[in-house]
Chain A
Amino acid sequence: MTLYECMFLVEAGRASRHWEETEKELTGILEKHGAEIRRQTFYGERKLAYPVKKHRRGAYLLTYFEADPAVIEELRRDLTLSEAALRYLILKVEDGVVPEERSLGTWEPTARPQPAAAPETAPEPEAKAAPEPEAAPEEAEAAGGGEAEAAAEAGPGEADAKEEE
């Protein structure tokens, strides 16, 4: 098992209205391939640096998981097919240690969107304070190693919107 980090970008509308299902779907795909989730942190909605498939805002879910490197390819395929995330990026964690939950510059971890009295889905309040099981740190990877780039589904050269903040 190897430790990976995966960042999901979820379109803001979907994130605010259907977070539970979205997270369930993404996590489900990971687990389907035998991945063991170590930690997930939600980073609330922000303005995207450029529109992605016409969406201007998005929320991010950072997930650390352990998986067999052999399944990553298929995992990618499934994530690409899923509509839940606009984009995702899977990288190997080189030192094999799940980092502390932290803010990223001015970007703070936030609570997940609550299902606002959602009629259709039974709201299961997600009080997920991430149990944070110590990841068995495997031998530190030699730097450089097989970093996994997300299948470059790169957006069709849309580039507008200047940087924010």
Chain B
Amino acid sequence: MAPKSRKFKDRARCRFCREKVERIDYKDVHLLQKLTTGQGKLFSRKRSGNCARHQRMAKLALKRARFMALMPYVGGQG
């Protein structure tokens, strides 16, 4: 049995925290697509593991991308 040296908060569950992301750009459509379902809906924090702060940033970026027609609004056909 390997000793579980569980350091506290060793690895953040949030990918953006791990990568020390300070802002999420609405123009990064590629990234936003990875953060959303096929319906264009943001994955829940539970699903994505994002922390609250980064989830907020993602939400704002998505909102802007939608406004600029770079991302669909939820409930697009199909």
Contacts and interface: CB of A to CB of B under 8 A. Distances in A.
A9 B68 contact: yes
A77 interface: no
Interface string A121-158: 00000000000000000000001000001101011010
A163 interface: yes
Nearest to A104: B27
A62 to B, nearest CB: 8
A58 B69 contact: yes
Max chain A C-beta neighbours (<10 A), residue from B40, B73, B78 = B73
Contacts of B66: 49
A94 B23 contact: yes
B68 A160 contact: no
Contacts of B78: 162
B23 A49 contact: no
Nearest to A5: B27
Interface residues of A, number: 30
B69 A87 contact: yes
Contact of A161 (B23, B25, B70, B77): B77
Contact of A160 (B65, B71, B76): B76
Contacts of A87: 67-69
A26 B69 CA distance: 19
B68 A7 contact: yes
Contacts of A52: 69
B46 interface: no
Contact of A89 (B31, B68, B74): B68
Given A49-B69, A87-B69, A163-B72, 5 more contacts: A107-B29, A161-B72, A162-B40, A163-B38, A163-B40
24 contacts: A48-B69, A49-B69, A49-B70, A49-B73, A52-B69, A87-B67, A87-B69, A89-B68, A94-B23, A104-B27, A104-B29, A107-B29, A107-B30, A143-B22, A143-B23, A155-B69, A159-B76, A160-B76, A161-B76, A161-B77, A162-B72, A163-B40, A165-B29, A165-B33
